[in-house]
């Protein structure tokens, strides 16, 4: 039924958002003299959204937004030592070991025997390439695309680039607005696998699967069975 199956990377193939949450907790501790830990996440999120068009996604942009937020909430009083500690939080995120999600190694290996696999993900190019190289599963993927945005036009261009018919394309990811809905918009199909922690920017409300032509699974290990059922229809 599908010639190509594409996967998002962060929180679909490996853990990512939980590392950001730990960094935010450490960040809050560093700024406890300037702002309540309950107020800081909103201030940081506002800074991230303001910077998104300039910095894009990823640990490096997150680190820059943390530094800017620290300067803002402290009214310029944050010390150089604290700024250095914030930078170190970003370094730790970039160097963090890649932790594959449960069922990923065996599922990807099995699907690679019968389908052409791709990674389509947002983020910093160097960071994402590094994580994939360290993941132990890079050899299963025929193509890797790191993009600035995920919308219908971006997916349409990628499908044209690789000569993939939309109806033969399946995208698997943890984000409805980034990984699933834009693909269904251009005639492809998607599989939504919610992650227990999802960045606020990636939430989408009011999109029941039955009305949008995609499927929802509890974990990636259920994907081969779904494909088998679809092939039998």
State whether 77 and 126 are in the same domain: no
What string of H, E and C letters represents the secondary structure of the chain?
A: CCCEEEECCECCCECCHHHHHHHHHHHHHHCCCCCCCCCHHHHHHHHHHHHHHHHCCCHHHHHHHHHHHHHHHCCCCCCHHHHHHHHHHHHHHHHCCCCECCCHHHHHHHHHCCCEEEEEEECCHHHHHHHHHHHCCHHHCCEEEEECCCCHHHHHHHHHHCCCCHHHEEEEECCHHHHHHHHHHCCCEEEECCCCCCCHHHCCCCCCHHHHCEEECCCHHHHHHHHHHHHHC
Q: What is the pLDDT of residue 194?
A: 92
Same domain, 137 and 218: yes
Chain mean pLDDT for the chain: 91
Do residues 114 and 210 both lie within one domain? yes
Question: For the residues 221-227, what does the mean pLDDT come to?
Answer: 96
The predicted structure's pLDDT at residue 84: 97
pLDDT band at 195 (very low <50, low <70, confident <90, very high): confident
Q: Determine the pLDDT at residue 191.
A: 96
CATH of the domain at 88: 1.10.150.240
Residue where a domain terminates, one of 95, 124, 148:
95
Q: How confident is the model at residue 225 (pLDDT cuts 50, 70, 90)?
A: very high
**Per-residue pLDDT tens over the stretch 7-48:** 999 999 999 878 888 999 999 999 999 999 999 999 999 999
Q: Is the pLDDT of residue 188 over 80?
A: yes
My answer on whether 192 and 82 are in the same domain is no
Is the same domain home to 83 and 124? no
Q: Are residues 141 and 186 in the same domain?
A: yes
The predicted structure's pLDDT at residue 202: 44
Q: What is the pTM of this model?
A: 0.86
Same domain as 109, residue 65: no
Domain finish residue from 95, 118, 149: 95
Q: Quick one: 118 and 80 in the same domain? A: no
What is the number of structural domains in the chain? 2
Containing structural domain, residue 42: 17-95
152 with 48, same domain: the answer is no
Question: For residue 57, is pLDDT > 90?
Answer: no
Q: What is the pLDDT of residue 203?
A: 43
Domain check: are 35 and 118 in the same one?
A: no
């Amino acid at each position: 039924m599908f010639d190509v199956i594409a996967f998002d990377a962060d929180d679909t193939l490996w853990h990512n958002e939980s590392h950001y949450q730990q960094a935010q907790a450490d960040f809050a501790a560093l700024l406890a003299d300037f702002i309540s830990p309950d107020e800081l996440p909103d201030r940081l999120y506002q800074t991230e959204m303001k910077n998104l068009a300039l910095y894009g996604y990823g640990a490096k942009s997150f680190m820059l937004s943390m530094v800017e937020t620290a300067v803002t909430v402290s009214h310029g009083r944050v010390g150089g030592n604290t700024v250095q500690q914030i930078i170190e939080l970003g370094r730790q995120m970039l160097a963090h070991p890649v932790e594959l999600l449960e069922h990923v190694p065996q599922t990807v290996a099995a699907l690679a025997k019968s389908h052409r696999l791709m990674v389509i993900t947002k983020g910093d190019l160097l960071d994402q390439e590094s994580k994939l190289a360290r993941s132990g599963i890079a050899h299963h993927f025929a193509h890797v695309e790191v993009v600035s945005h995920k919308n219908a036009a971006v997916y349409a261009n990628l499908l044209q680039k690789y000569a993939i018919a939309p109806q033969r394309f399946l995208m698997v990811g943890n984000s409805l607005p980034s990984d699933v809905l834009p693909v269904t918009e251009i005639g492809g199909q998607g599989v939504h696998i919610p992650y227990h922690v999802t960045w606020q920017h990636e939430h989408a409300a009011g999109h029941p699967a039955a009305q949008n032509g995609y499927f929802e699974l509890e974990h990636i290990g259920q994907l081969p069975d779904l494909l088998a059922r679809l092939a039998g229809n």
